[in-house]
């Protein structure tokens, strides 16, 4: 079940959902708009001939209030807001339609697990033939909350818990890779 604005407001008021900072006008009929932070990561392509799932990736950090994403380019970004979900709610992260219509694809693997806490790392891809300029503080995506049928037995405590800026892939830490190392 997707939560309505009324339920979202109630859960924020009772502090079951935490979003900080939060502008009241960012609460939409069935979602909450989140804004772009000023921390970005770009894969350091000078370090690799290809990327592998079992190797740590080196990123170049960019801290700036305005960033231009060249055509057909990929960046990691972060939300300005820090969120905390209870153990009975998950959330979808969706790009704003108005921004998608410019050719900017916004993703975060699309899902935030119950129990997650932190800023959300966003994957940005400019599918347009023109550069796209983005300003920190602008609404970039929306969080759609889903009530689970019951509280998670094992809420999220993974490798991205508590992140406060854009965080690169940690796929090299996946448990199946760690088993093969031992």
Active site residue 42: no
Residues in CB range of 130: below 8 A, 6 or more apart: 71, 103
Using an 8 Å Cβ cutoff, are 122 and 93 in contact? yes
Tokens at residue 150, please? Answer: 């019951």
CB atoms within 10 A of CB 132: 18
| Active-site hit among 42, 117, 123, 165 | 123
Quote the CA–CA distance of 37 and 28 in Å, as a whole number.
Answer: 20
Quote the CA–CA distance of 109 and 156 in Å, as a whole number.
Answer: 15
Give 92's strand partners.
Answer: 111, 144
Burial of 108 (0-12, 13-18, 19+ CB in 10 A): buried
Quote the CA–CA distance of 37 and 135 in Å, as a whole number.
Answer: 8
Using an 8 Å Cβ cutoff, are 90 and 111 in contact? yes
Quote the CA–CA distance of 42 and 62 in Å, as a whole number.
Answer: 8
The residues carrying an active-site annotation are 123
């Amino acid at each position: 079940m997707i939560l309505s604005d009324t339920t979202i407001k109630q859960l924020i008021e009772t502090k079951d959902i935490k979003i900080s900072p939060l502008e009241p006008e960012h609460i939409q009929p069935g979602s909450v708009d989140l804004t772009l932070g000023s921390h970005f990561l770009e894969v350091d392509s000078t370090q690799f001939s290809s990327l592998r799932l079992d190797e740590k990736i080196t990123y170049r950090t960019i801290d700036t209030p305005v960033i231009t994403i060249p055509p057909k380019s990929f960046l990691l970004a972060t939300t300005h807001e820090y969120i905390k979900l209870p153990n009975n709610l998950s959330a979808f992260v969706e790009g704003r339609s108005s921004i998608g219509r410019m050719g900017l694809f916004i993703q975060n693997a699309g899902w935030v697990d119950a129990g997650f806490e932190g800023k959300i790392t966003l994957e940005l891809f400019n599918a347009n033939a023109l550069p796209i300029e983005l300003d920190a503080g602008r609404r970039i995506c929306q969080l759609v909350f889903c009530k689970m049928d019951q509280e998670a037995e094992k809420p999220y405590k993974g490798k991205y818990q508590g992140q406060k800026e854009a965080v690169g892939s940690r796929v090299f830490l996946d448990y199946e890779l760690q088993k093969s190392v031992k």
